[in-house]
C-alpha cells in the first residue's frame, strides 16, 4: 500500500470477528470495527479530516488557526492535520482530564485553552456557559479561525455515513448487521453509521444501541445520559436503546479485548464490547428458547428436528487504543497495574452509602458555617472557583481531592467539613466516602454551588 499523504490511510479499518467462546453468544456473530487502527489512532480521524479538508486551502490563505472544542481524539487528529498544512491548532475545552492526551497535544504543537463548563461557572453577570459563548464567537464570519464545530457539524456525521457504514456492509458481504452498538460522544459515528446501515435494506431493520457513561461516572471520550442531550447532532430517534455503562464495566470490557482478543482497545472500546454482550445476551437466550420450542413442535408434527435459528450479526465500534489511558486505569483499578487496590476511591461508594450521607440545604449550610465554621471545600475547577465561590472556602479540584483521600483522611476528625461541587452529586459521593473512612461530621451542600447561587446566598470573586 503506497500513499502520497497519511490522510489517504484514513478509513478502511478491519472488521474482526470476536471468538464465540469469548463472548458466549450462541446465535449471534459479533464483530469489532477497529477504528483504533486509523492512522492518528481513533475513529475521530475520519470526522476531523472530513470537517477540515474542504476549508484547509482557505485557512492557509487567510492564516487561520484551526479551533475545536475537544480534549481528546478530535483534537489529536486536528493537531496532526493542522501541522501537516502549516496551520496552528487550538484546542478549547473544559478541564483536560487525561494528562497523557494533554501532553501529547502539547507535543504535537497544539495550544490548549481550558475553560470551566456550564455547571461549574457561576458568574451571575454572565450566566451563559463560557464554552457556548466561545462557540458563538468563533462561528461569526470573518474571524481568522477554522472552527470545525464537531458537535454541530453534519460533516462529522457524514464521515461515518460515507465511510464507516459502507465499509461494514462491504465486509459483511453486502448485508447490514442486525445490530450496531456504539458509544456516544458527539454522536457523529453512531448517527452516520446507523443512517447508512438502515438505508441499505429498509426491509431488514438494524437495531442501534447507543452507549453512554453512567450518571456522574467518567469514561473518557463519551458523554453521560444527561450530557448527551446537549449535543447538536444527537437525535434520540437514531437509537432503539440508549444504555449506560459504568467506568468499571468499560474497564472489564477493555480487559477482555486486551487479554483474550488481541485487540489493544481503550475504555470506550471496552464499554462498547461490554454493552454489546450485555444487550445481546438476553436476545440470544430468547433465540435459544424459541429454537427449543420450535424443535419440540417440529418433532411432534413430523418426528424431525426443527431448523437451526438464523444466525444474526452485530457490530460494535472500537474507537481508540489503550496506551493513553494507563493513568485512568491506575486511578480506578490500580491492582491491574500491580499496585495495592484503591481502598478509598469515590468510584467504590455505593448508592446506599450516598443515600446515607449527610446532605444539607443552603439555609442550613449558611447557619452551620456561621456557627461552627466548618472547612468548606469547593471541588470545582480553578477557573470556576476564581469566578465565584463561597467566602472562606478552599478550592481542591475533585481529581486532586480523590488523590488526597486515597492516602487517608486529609484533615482531623474534629474538623467539620462542608463539601460543595457544581450540583451536589460529586460532593455527596465524597461525603459518603469520608463518612465510611470514619469522619464524624462531613456534609454535602444539596444542589451544589448552583443551588447556593439560586438561593441568592453570597458568593465572592478572586
Ligand atoms: C475515545 C472515544 N470513544 C468514543 C467517542 C464517540 O464518538 P462520537 O463523537 O462519534 O460519538 C469518542 C469521541 O470523541 C472518543 O474520543
The answer, yes or no, to whether residue 304 has pLDDT greater than 70, is: no
- Averaged pLDDT of the chain: 90
**Dihedrals phi, psi of 204, to nearest 5 degrees:** -110, 105
Q: Which of 440, 441, 461, 438 is nearest to 449 (CA)?
A: 461
The reply to whether ligand 1 has any atom less than 6 angstroms from the CB of 445 is no
What residue owns the CA closest to ligand 1's atom 16?
221
The answer, yes or no, to whether residue 137 has pLDDT greater than 50, is: yes
Q: What is the pLDDT of residue 458?
A: 95
The answer, yes or no, to whether residue 425 has pLDDT greater than 60, is: yes
Q: Three cell numbers at 380?
A: 470545582
pLDDT, one tens digit per residue, over 441-459 is 999 999 999 999 999 999 9
pLDDT, one tens digit per residue, over 145-163 is 999 999 999 999 999 999 9
The answer, yes or no, to whether residue 125 has pLDDT greater than 60, is: no
To test the pocket of ligand 1, the residue of 45, 183, 272, 324 to mutate (highest count of ligand atoms within 8 Å of its CB) is 183
What residue owns the CA closest to ligand 1's atom 12?
221
Q: What is the pLDDT of residue 308?
A: 75
The reply to whether ligand 1 has any atom less than 6 angstroms from the CB of 321 is no
* Interval between CA 317 and ligand 1 midpoint (Å): 10
The reply to whether ligand 1 has any atom less than 6 angstroms from the CB of 183 is yes
The reply to whether ligand 1 has any atom less than 6 angstroms from the CB of 221 is yes
The answer, yes or no, to whether residue 119 has pLDDT greater than 70, is: no
* Interval between CA 234 and ligand 1 midpoint (Å): 13
Query: CB under 8 Å to 114, separation ≥6 — which residues?
Result: 93, 94, 95, 96, 381, 383
**How much of the chain exceeds pLDDT 70, in percent?**
91
DSSP state for residue 224 in the 8-state scheme? B
pLDDT top residue among 296 and 356: 356
DSSP state for residue 128 in the 8-state scheme? S
Atom of ligand 1 nearest to the CA of 220: 1
To test the pocket of ligand 1, the residue of 38, 42, 44 to mutate (highest count of ligand atoms within 8 Å of its CB) is 44
* Interval between CA 335 and ligand 1 midpoint (Å): 27
Question: Considering the entire predicted model, what is its pTM?
Answer: 0.85
The reply to whether ligand 1 has any atom less than 6 angstroms from the CB of 320 is yes
Q: What is the pLDDT of residue 290?
A: 78
Q: What is the pLDDT of residue 303?
A: 47
What residue owns the CA closest to ligand 1's atom 6?
185
Do residues 115 and 100 make contact, with C-beta atoms less than 8 angstroms apart?
A: no
Residue 243: in which H helix or E strand, if any? Answer: strand 241-245
pLDDT band with cut points at 50, 70 and 90 for residue 121 = low
Mean pLDDT in residue range 382-398 = 91
- The Cα angle at residue 223 between residues 280 and 215, in degrees rounded to 5: 80
* Full 3-state SS string of 10-64: CCCCCEEECCHHHHCCCCEEEEEEEHHHCCCCECHHHHHHHHHHHHHHHHHHHCC
- The Cα angle at residue 203 between residues 198 and 205, in degrees rounded to 5: 45
Q: What is the pLDDT of residue 127?
A: 45
| Lowest-confidence segment of 129-138, 189-198, 260-269 by average pLDDT | 129-138
The answer, yes or no, to whether residue 333 has pLDDT greater than 70, is: yes
* Interval between CA 450 and ligand 1 midpoint (Å): 29
Mean pLDDT in residue range 227-253 = 91
Amino acid at each position: 500500500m503506497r500513499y502520497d499523504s497519511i490522510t489517504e490511510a484514513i478509513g478502511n479499518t478491519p472488521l474482526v470477528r470476536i471468538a464465540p467462546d469469548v463472548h458466549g453468544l450462541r446465535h449471534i456473530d459479533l464483530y469489532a470495527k477497529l477504528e483504533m487502527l486509523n492512522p492518528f489512532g481513533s475513529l475521530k480521524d475520519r470526522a476531523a479530516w472530513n470537517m477540515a479538508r474542504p476549508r484547509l486551502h482557505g485557512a492557509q490563505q487567510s492564516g487561520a488557526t484551526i479551533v475545536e472544542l475537544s480534549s481528546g481524539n478530535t483534537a489529536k487528529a486536528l493537531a496532526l492535520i493542522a501541522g501537516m498544512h502549516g496551520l496552528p491548532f487550538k484546542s478549547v475545552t473544559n478541564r483536560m482530564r487525561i494528562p497523557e492526551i494533554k501532553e501529547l497535544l502539547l507535543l504535537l504543537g497544539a495550544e490548549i485553552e481550558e475553560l470551566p463548563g456550564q455547571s461549574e461557572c457561576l458568574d451571575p453577570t454572565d450566566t451563559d456557559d463560557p464554552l457556548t459563548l466561545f462557540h458563538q464567537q468563533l462561528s461569526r464570519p470573518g474571524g481568522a479561525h477554522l472552527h470545525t464545530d464537531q458537535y454541530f457539524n453534519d460533516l462529522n456525521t457524514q464521515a461515518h455515513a460515507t465511510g464507516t457504514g459502507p465499509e461494514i456492509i462491504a465486509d459483511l458481504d453486502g448485508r447490514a448487521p442486525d445490530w450496531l452498538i456504539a458509544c456516544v460522544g458527539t454522536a457523529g459515528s453512531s448517527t452516520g453509521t446507523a443512517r447508512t446501515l438502515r438505508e441499505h435494506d429498509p426491509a431488514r431493520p438494524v437495531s442501534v444501541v447507543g452507549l453512554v457513561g453512567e450518571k456522574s461516572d467518567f469514561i473518557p471520550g463519551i458523554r453521560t445520559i444527561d450530557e448527551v442531550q446537549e449535543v447538536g447532532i444527537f437525535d434520540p430517534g437514531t437509537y432503539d436503546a440508549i444504555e449506560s455503562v459504568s467506568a468499571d464495566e468499560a474497564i472489564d470490557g477493555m480487559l477482555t479485548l486486551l487479554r483474550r482478543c488481541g485487540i489493544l482497545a481503550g475504555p470506550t472500546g471496552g464499554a462498547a464490547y461490554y454493552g454489546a454482550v450485555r444487550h445481546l445476551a438476553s436476545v440470544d437466550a430468547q433465540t435459544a428458547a424459541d429454537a427449543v420450542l420450535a424443535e419440540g413442535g417440529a418433532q411432534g408434527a413430523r418426528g424431525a428436528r426443527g431448523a437451526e435459528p438464523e444466525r444474526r450479526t452485530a457490530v460494535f465500534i472500537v474507537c481508540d487504543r489503550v496506551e493513553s489511558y494507563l493513568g485512568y486505569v491506575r486511578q480506578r483499578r490500580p491492582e491491574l497495574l500491580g499496585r495495592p487496590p484503591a481502598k478509598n476511591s469515590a468510584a467504590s461508594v455505593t448508592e446506599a452509602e450516598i443515600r446515607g450521607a449527610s446532605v444539607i440545604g443552603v439555609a442550613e449550610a449558611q447557619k452551620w458555617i456561621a456557627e461552627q465554621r466548618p472547612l468548606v471545600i469547593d471541588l470545582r475547577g480553578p477557573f470556576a472557583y476564581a469566578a465565584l465561590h463561597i467566602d472562606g472556602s478552599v478550592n481542591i479540584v475533585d481529581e486532586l481531592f480523590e488523590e488526597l483521600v486515597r492516602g487517608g483522611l486529609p484533615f482531623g476528625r474534629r474538623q467539620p467539613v462542608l463539601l460543595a461541587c457544581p450540583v451536589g452529586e460529586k460532593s455527596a459521593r465524597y461525603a459518603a466516602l469520608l463518612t465510611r473512612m470514619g469522619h464524624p461530621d462531613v456534609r454535602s451542600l444539596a444542589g451544589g454551588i448552583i443551588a447556593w447561587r439560586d438561593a441568592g446566598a453570597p458568593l465572592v470573586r478572586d
